[in-house]
Amino acid sequence: MVPTAIRTTPLQAENAPGPWPHRLAWLAALAAVPLVLFGGSVTTLGAGMAVDGWLVAEGHFLLFFPVDQWLRDTATFVEHTHRLFGVLVGMFALTSALATLVRERRRGARLVAVAALLAVCLQGTLGGMRVLADDANLAFLHGALAQAVFALLCVNAAVLSSGWRAACSQGAEVESERRALESAASLALLVTCVQVVLGAWYRHGIRPGHAGDVGLRLALHVAGAIAALIALAALARRGSALRERAPSLPVGLHRVLARLPVLLVVQLVLGGLAWAGHREGALGPAEWALSIAHVLLGALLLAHCALAAAWTRRLGRAPGLLEPVPTLCEAAP
């Protein structure tokens, strides 16, 4: 059932911060998709040290790295392109945070925007330190954190959307379903986070230049996948129950709950194909594509868990609980 439209009141329209904080936050989340894909490719190819240096790469400032060197081989292309998308995401996150601080009155929205920017900065710093120190442990940490940063960017875009501002309580008659969905989303978010870490640990263990007990890593990854499957299936079931009883759910939450079962099925298929197609010492185009698609779907699942948790928490709070504060424009003399 398609949710009914939620009208914005004159007061909400008057206090609206304008479209740019949300647009920039959405662009940051969108640009993070190829960033995750190229990051997964770096791990798949073992290309983390393909370019020597970080901000100054082989004698050139990062943004002015020569095109002929950028295209010299696949590993260099993948690694440097990953860095460029990192810069792009950082620029969008920075401008979104600045626009939010200037235009947004809600304290909670400001905090989320700043948290997203700090998370992007932390992730970029970890990536740089990994290259400068040539440290496999930092590479694993950088890979494990990437999908959490992506999820936070998606939540930031949702919080700055007009639908989030207009969201209202669904009423006491569905409060039990809302609470059950919030609990299921929180649990699924936690379990999926653990699974993402286990997946990164496994992927870094089977790639060139890394050593470790691959059997143990695979066993833990499979166990995590089973736990995540149970938690995500419970979340999908709770979401379906709430959608049936509350057809006026915000469009954002409705779409998240509708996409979740599809993403879960696709992720299971991709994971099985990626595992079945892995051959030690041989990396073909099919395994490359399957592995990075599996990484991206993991990021999308984690983001949907975070969005479901954020949306259900929003519906359970009074509309005025996120207290407005003066914007920088209003505070200026």
Task: Give the DSSP letter string of 16-66.
Answer: ---SHHHHHHHHHHHHHHHHHHHHHHHHHHT-TTSSSBSSEETTEEGGG--
C-alpha 33/C-alpha 159 separation (Å) is 19
Q: Collapse the DSSP code of 207 into the 3-class scheme (helix H, G, I; strand E, B; otherwise coil) and give the result.
A: coil
Q: Compute how many other C-beta atoms are within 10 angstroms of the C-beta atom of residue 78.
A: 23
Q: How confident is the model at residue 212 (pLDDT cuts 50, 70, 90)?
A: low
**Least confident stretch, 141-145, 148-152, 206-210:** 206-210
Asked if residues 138 and 293 have their Cβ atoms less than 8 Å apart, the reply is no
Query: What's residue 245's pLDDT?
Result: 83
Query: What's residue 281's pLDDT?
Result: 61
Structure tokens of 124? 């970029």
Residue boundaries of the structural domains of the chain: 18-166+174-331
Q: Which residue has the higher pLDDT, 250 or 328?
A: 250
Residues linked to residue 279 through DSSP beta bridges, in sequence order: 282
Place of tokens 């609470």: 179
**Roughly what angle, to the nearest 10 degrees, separates helices 20-45 and 107-133?**
20
Residues linked to residue 61 through DSSP beta bridges, in sequence order: 56
Question: pLDDT averaged over the chain?
Answer: 86
Q: Compute how many other C-beta atoms are within 10 angstroms of the C-beta atom of residue 9.
A: 12
Task: Say what the alpha-carbon torsion angle 175, 181, 186, 190 is, to the nearest 10 degrees.
Answer: 160
Residues contacting residue 24 through CB under 8 Å, at least 6 positions apart: 92, 95, 96, 99
- The model's pLDDT over 67-93, given as tens digits with 9 standing for 90+, comes to 999 999 999 999 999 999 999 999 999
- H/E stretch holding 98: helix 74-103
C-alpha 153/C-alpha 112 separation (Å) is 9
pTM here is 0.88
Measured on CA atoms in the order 234, 245, 318, 332, is the torsion positive or negative? positive
**Least confident stretch, 32-41, 77-86, 154-163, 234-243:** 234-243
Residues in the chain: 333
**Least confident stretch, 23-32, 44-53, 92-101:** 44-53
C-alpha 292/C-alpha 312 separation (Å) is 30
C-alpha 206/C-alpha 45 separation (Å) is 11
**How far lies 159's CA from each of 55, 152, 201, 224, in Å?**
32, 10, 31, 30
Query: What's residue 320's pLDDT?
Result: 37
